[in-house]
Structure 1
Amino acid sequence: MIYCDELQTHAAAEPDRKPNAKRASERLDFGMRIACFRPKGPTLTTRILIIILLIASSGAPATAAPPSSAATPEVAPGQLIVTWKVPKTLRVATVPTVVAGYVTRPLRDLDSRTELIALHEKTQAASWEAVAALRADPRVADVQPNYVRRPMVRPNDTHFPLQWHIPRIHGEQAWDISQGSQIKIAVIDTGIRGSHPDFQGQLLPGYDFISNITHAGDNDGRDANPTDNGTNSSASSALHGTHVAGIIAARSINNKGIAGICWNCKIVPIRALGVDAGRGVDSDIADAIRWAAGLNVQHVPPNPNPAQIINMSFGGAGGSKVLTDAIAAALREGVIIVTAAGNKNIDASNIYPAAVPGVITVGATGYKTKRAPYSNYGQVIDVMAPGGNLYEKQDVQHQGKTWQGGIISTMYYAQDNSYDYHIYEGTSQAAPVVAGVIGLMLSVNSGLDSAAVLAALKKTADGSYQCAKGCGAGMINAAAALAEVNNGTPPTGNGLPYGSTCSQDLDCASRICRPAGGSGYICTRYCSSKTECPSGSSCHAGVCVPGSGPSTNPGSSGGTVIQGVGCRVGAEEAPSGPLPWLALALLALACRRRRR
């Protein structure tokens, strides 16, 4: 089922208007200018008197430490700015060659009283210790680390005011750290309409893996064209993949449309779900996963751009060995896989691929609610992200209207062959929010693996979004997650061997910590058969477990049909209550505003 049972409304764009060019990046300077008379040259007596007066007027030694707050300043490691109490022409002393045990050297003068110095030890801790030592020097008027400033990024995209999900995850603060790089993110979905203006320059070559010509809707089966041939009706694909891809990497700062979470990332569009309500089968999906990861697929050309991240915003009940094996193969290649939890308000433990070991499974929060009323829940949920709730209204006015509290993204309208923007709700929308954030994380630290990424997302998540039914670690915090990994070094973990008790992937040498029946969580490894597991273990649901393993059947290798149930179409204004699906659809078809 593609998670397309989500309400939608057409956020039709007015002709693009040039936004106010005034930026919200202002700088406040607090200081004063003092006019001084400078003698032609100080006598020895004058110098002695100045030194005596400075020593007598000095206060208690000051201490310095990095501020303890959510907005801890970033400093240039090993650099200090020292302001002396007297100008250089009157000074007889210089910065000591050793401060707080650290060797120093002058870099340059900033003015007659101020100079930039460097420490041999280039760490932030050394900077703060040296600041404390120099503040105790009676000759020093002020000393500070060399603070780092970054541009305050705020997109000028027309519909950015409706992208409430970005400030909700602290996305703008994350963009102050990185706007992404050439990270490749595969979107396995219904395909894409690549001619959308917000996809220009954002796409890499993809592939269509739908083997059934009827389901493909393009009369040519598998080929190198991942275009979605569906329509906007509930019986078709509803252009689901186009919407998902825009959330991740729509082009930004182009005075139109929306901003993707990681707009400098690249999308690899892969089509595995067809035009018949987004129907897809495991045999096609498994091939799509392997190809996305750069693995060989029979009768298909190699992928020239293997993905570092895969987003899968679909799912269905019942385990499947072919799907689990394909995911395990991609994980072994180092690919990070993000999946949607599902929209049935049930435990996701039997929803696949959400329940496959090793994926990052995402539940949805509403616009005003912490867990969206439709979002699945349970032990398999790792984190939450905004998915929206169309029965809630946004608090902002945009183009003179109040809009529904869903997620706006790119859309193609088959009725009039036009490109515009649409509001959906669902875990299908929450998953690409996380995929985009992971793209930003890899942009600042390419050494991260799936275990390190998940550990950082969980560690920095907003725990107030946890729930009794199971909402993982809570709502992701993009800025905090980037700050957590922005050090060039991935966390190493504890290196525990197979079978050891663990609480997270990082605990294990294999970077895989999974439940094992009555044994609780243990360090394990991925597998597709018993022969890949240690002696005395079996392969169950894609991971090795001690003994014979649980007796439940993980699913046949024939594949699970993933069947869509149709999209509910909403009117422009948020309805006051849950209307029957058919009545709501008819209302929307009658009232949907045309693009102007």
Structure 2
Amino acid sequence: MTLPRPLLLAAALLSAALAPLAAHAQTDATEARVIVRFKAQADSVRAKALAVRASRGEAREVAQTRATALGLRAGRSLAAGLSLDERTHVITARGLSSAQLARQLAADAEVEFVAVDQRRKHTKLPNDPLFGGAEVNPESTVSGGQARTIDQWYLKKPSSTPGQVVSSINAPAAWDVTTGASSVIVAVLDTGVRPDHPDLAGQIVGGYDMIGYGSPGNASTVIANDGNGPDADASDPGDWVSQADINAGTISGCTSSDIGSSSWHGTRVAGLIAAASNNGTGMAGVGWGLKILPVRVLGKCGGYDSDIIAGMKWAAGLNVPGLPLNSNKAKVLNLSLGGTGTCGATGTGALYREAITQVNAVGGTVVVAAGNSEGLAVEMPGNCPGVVTVAALRHVGTKVGFSSLGPDVTIAAPGGNCINTGAGQPCLYPMVSTTNSGATSPVANDAAYTGSAASVGTSFSAPIVSGIVGLMASVRPGLTSVEATQILKSTARPFPTTGGGSAADGNPPQCKAPSATVQDECYCTTSTCGAGMVDAAAAVTATVALNGVSIGIAASPTATPAAGQTVTLTATATGLPSGRTVASTAWTVVDAGGIVTGFASGANTATATITPSAAGSFTVRADVTDSAGVVYSQTLQITVSAVTPVDPVPVPTGSSGSGGGGGASSALWLAGLLTAALALRRTAGRAAVRSARRG
């Protein structure tokens, strides 16, 4: 992009003015880091628009210009990083905490809201191999007191006998219908994936390393641990931490338990979803015909919300300023990660909500681990609306002690548990998956599988469900998130009420609503662990039954109205099973685009009316429920034109008035910015003179 000569001069002078204010590098542990959304009518937004298909350089330039102006008004040097959309950017500073920076910037008249860019971590680590025999082995021992053979018990046909393996998902019966279509892609947002593992080498399509794009300082390469910033290489270099990292404080959120050991977490998650199978070696994935899209968002000691949110959008094929468009659009997104917080309507929660809504609107389903808080409440992003949140079960169907619980949970799946273990004995019921044997850096072409150590956690319950949703999408390519959620719930098997207990607790209680008190093993209820125990075969069979049913949405008088024009939407269902009729239709604005505040009428009828307030686009969804209680969904995007042309922003005489960002630069705004920068530089210079005289 080439700026007009007056603007080039202004930019050069501005850089010179600010140079003394940004002389030192930033690190993850010392920088304040927030996500700022500017108001749509802010001068800095109107002065230079950011195109959704902007290059990385263009996106960074526009974001930095806005950050600079914001910093001048706040009297602080600000640096910009990742842009989540056209007016939402990561911004960092030094000399104060992230919470202090958020409060300061939130007071600016151009700012819509500010959220601290928090770190999130994967929820547990795993370890061991192979599908084993056709049936589940009971919990038993063989001669010599050795534990039974460890296998992929969680995939088998479940037992009907209380106290034996009742939580397994019945994958073989689902495989009789489909082993997964190669056109269905499951994104693994995690530490990256080892693409050279023999059971994963043919399962990977594309991918991206998001780590560091939001960080303008040198912390990005430290966290990423691969020596560079964002790129198309989503392979896992290892997430180990050195004692030097801890001592130097270069990364926040690290503890001594992170030292000297890489988790290979994303590789383990990927194997559970789609490890190559029926090949006489290794293990079986839930859907071995599916493909994996690795999106690297977690590095040393976790990853930032901004990288995770951008990764979600990118994985679903949505535009993210500065990133190349993903040509391998994911149908399912697996997030085996989490952290603190509630998914509210403002701040970070609002950003997660928006991303999830956008992913759902383009047909994607987001599956999230409930978390390992030992029976406390589910936290973000598992408590966000629009996701499938998965709790963990023991082999006997009770809640595993470590799993979080509560009304935010959608469904429960095996999460691994260790019982009757003693010195020299392995974990009896781990979640077997692919891994790497490297302690820190990866071993090349390593065919390792999780071994004798305990491999448990909701991190591994979530990919079980992601694989099942992938199988469901293989038999119904148009599967929506609403349909997937409804089918998983309606086909779930009831939780057992007997057969629990262990050496630690021979008589576990019924699970209760989450509080500040931990809950270990307990008998699940539908209000604490979701609708029931997930059943792969039943879910796939029910999905097949949806085929032949389609929902159409007609817009009258037009699907491309002008601002202020009322549109009537009508939903119709065709191909319903014999004897069924439409019982109700629910309408939802899944993406208001800033131009829809709600329905004027028809929220629970076959028709709905909407009057958009301005130009842009918005997306609605119709959820049609038939007389048997089955829900079918369809979305429609409405493009709205302006009533009258918008007056262009004035530009300097003789300039082109536009650049790669697709907007116009305001000479008056830039002049004001330059004046403020020079004044700030003079103030800084006088302060330096006074300091020198005192010295």
Fold shared by both chains (TM-score > 0.5): yes
In structure 2, give the amino acid aligned to 1:170.
Answer: N
* Contact preservation (8 Å) 1:2, 1:313: no
State yes or no: 1:479 paired with 2:537. yes
| Corresponding residue for residue 414 of structure 1 | 438
* Paired AA for residue 365 in structure 1: L
CA distance in 1, matches of 2:126, 2:229: 30
C-alpha offsets along residues 239-290 of structure 1, whole Å, 9 cap, x if unaligned? 110100000000012222110000000000000111x23x111111111011
The answer to whether 1:242 aligns with 2:267 is yes
Give the Cα separation in 1 of the matches to 2:234 and 2:525: 38
1:490, distance to aligned residue in structure 2 (A):
6.7
User: 1:30 is matched with which residue?
Assistant: none
Q: Indicate yes or no: 2:294 matched with 1:269.
A: yes
Deviations 1:113-141 (A, max 9, x none): xxxxxxxxxxxxxxxxxxxxxxxxxxxxx
3-state SS of the aligned residue for 1:289? helix
Counterpart in the other structure of 2:189: 188
Q: Which residue number corresponds to residue 221 of structure 1? A: 229
User: CA 1:373–1:221 in structure 2 vs 1: closer, same or farther (change >3 Å)?
Assistant: same
TM-score (norm 2): 0.49
Identical-pair percentage:
35
Cross-structure match for 2:215: none
Q: 1:285 to 1:162 in 2, by over 3 A?
A: same
Residue 246 of structure 1 aligns with an amino acid whose one-letter code is G
Match of 1:339 among 335, 348, 368: 368
* Residues 8/249 of structure 1: CA separation in 2 closer, same or farther (3 Å cut): closer
SS in 2 for 1:339: strand
CA distance in 1, matches of 2:123, 2:473: 32
Residues in 2 aligned to 1:442 and 1:198: alpha-carbon distance in whole angstroms: 22
**Equivalent position amino acid for 1:203 in 2:** I
Partner of 1:298: 321
Quick check: 1:360 aligned with 2:426? no
Per-residue deviation, 1:342: 0.4
Per-residue CA shift, 1:356-382, capped at 9, x if unaligned? 111111111012352111111111111
Which protein has the larger Cα radius of gyration, Structure 1 or Structure 2? Answer: 1
User: Given residue 294 of structure 1, which amino acid in structure 2 is its aligned partner?
Assistant: G
Q: 1:3 touches 1:426 (CA, 8 Å); kept in 2?
A: no
Cα separation, partners in 2 of 1:356 and 1:460, compared to 1, 3 Å? same
Instruction: Tell me: CA distance 1:231–1:282, structure 2 relative to 1, closer, same or farther (3 Å).
Output: closer
Change (3 A) 1:331 1:7: closer
Q: Which residue of 1 aligns with 2:56?
A: none
Select the residue among 452, 455, 464 that pairs with 2:486: 455
Alpha carbons of structure 1 residues 369 and 484: separation in structure 2 relative to 1, 3 Å: closer
Corresponding residue for residue 107 of structure 1: none
Asked whether the equivalents of residues 447 and 489 of structure 1 are also in contact (C-alpha less than 8 Å), the reply is no
Shift in Å at residue 331 of structure 1? Answer: 1.1
Where does residue 209 of structure 1 map in the other structure? 210
1:457 Cα deviation after fit: 1.0
| RMSD, aligned α-carbons | 3.5
* Residues 492/473 of structure 1: CA separation in 2 closer, same or farther (3 Å cut): farther
1:278-357 equivalent positions in 2, closer than 5 A: 279-318=302-341, 319=343, 320=348, 321-349=350-378, 351-357=379-385
Aligned to 2:414: 386
**2:179 is aligned with 1:179:** yes
One-letter amino acid of the counterpart of residue 282, structure 1: D
Q: Which amino acid aligns with 1:444?
A: V
Q: Measure the CA separation in 2 of the matches of 1:162 and 1:334.
A: 35
1-structure distance, mates of 2:447, 2:279 = 16
Unpaired runs of 5+ in structure 1? Answer: 25-158, 395-399, 499-505, 511-522, 538-542, 545-596
1:208 deviates by: 0.2
8 Å contact kept, 1:367–1:406: no
Does the aligned pair in 2 maintain the 1:445–1:489 contact within 8 Å?
Answer: yes
**Residue identity matched to 2:175:** W
Are the aligned partners of 1:494 and 1:508 in contact in 2 as well (CA < 8 Å)? no
Structure 2 letter corresponding to 1:443: S
For residues 222 and 592 of structure 2, the distance between their equivalents in structure 1, rounded to whole angstroms, comes to 32
